[in-house]
Amino acid sequence: MPEARVILKNPSGLHARPAAVFVQAANGFTANIILQRDGKEANGKSILAVMGLGAKYGNELVIRAEGEDADQALATLVALVQAGLGEAELPG
What amino acid positions are annotated as catalytic residues? 15
The neighbouring-strand residues paired with 33 are 65
* Contact in structure between 81 and 22 (CB atoms under 8 Å): yes
Q: In terms of Cα–Cα distance, which of 6, 1, 4, 22 is closest to 59? A: 6
Measured between alpha carbons, how far is 87 from 15 in angstroms, rounded to an integer? 11
Measured between alpha carbons, how far is 68 from 4 in angstroms, rounded to an integer? 17
